[in-house]
Amino acid sequence: MGIPNAYTIAAAALLAIGLYCLASKRNLVKLVMGLEIVTTAVNLSFMGMGMRGKGPDPLAQAYVAINMAIGAVLIALALSLLAVVYRHYGSLDAYKVSRLRW
């Protein structure tokens, strides 16, 4: 088994875990964490595809670094919005929050 195949298998496993988390969880924090796992799977897939010859492709590394920075900002924004939702509704259950109005 070559290096790109191992990266691809690990990325597929992370993607399956993230999609399961998105499909089965009702807590908004767990949904955000599922999105982060999917993003990590995409980054790992790009790094796996960028492995050529002696080392990783610099373009793949640059893409993953930019994607990680943008992902960190999005996670911080999502968690701050979840704090506001919890203060307003008193719950982070997706079904309860979707039924309520401001």
Domain layout of the chain by residue ranges: 3-99
CATH of the structural domain 3-99, one choice from 1.10.3720.10, 1.20.120.1760, 1.10.10.60, 1.10.287.3510: 1.10.287.3510
What pLDDT, on a 0 to 100 scale, did the predictor assign at position 63?
A: 94
Rounded CA-CA distance 50/65 in Å is: 13
pLDDT reading at 73 higher than 80: yes
Please name the amino acid found at residue 64.
V
Q: Whole-prediction pTM value?
A: 0.85
Rounded CA-CA distance 70/52 in Å is: 26
**Residue-averaged pLDDT of the chain:** 88
pLDDT reading at 57 higher than 70: yes
Rounded CA-CA distance 61/67 in Å is: 10
pLDDT reading at 19 higher than 90: yes
What pLDDT, on a 0 to 100 scale, did the predictor assign at position 33?
A: 94
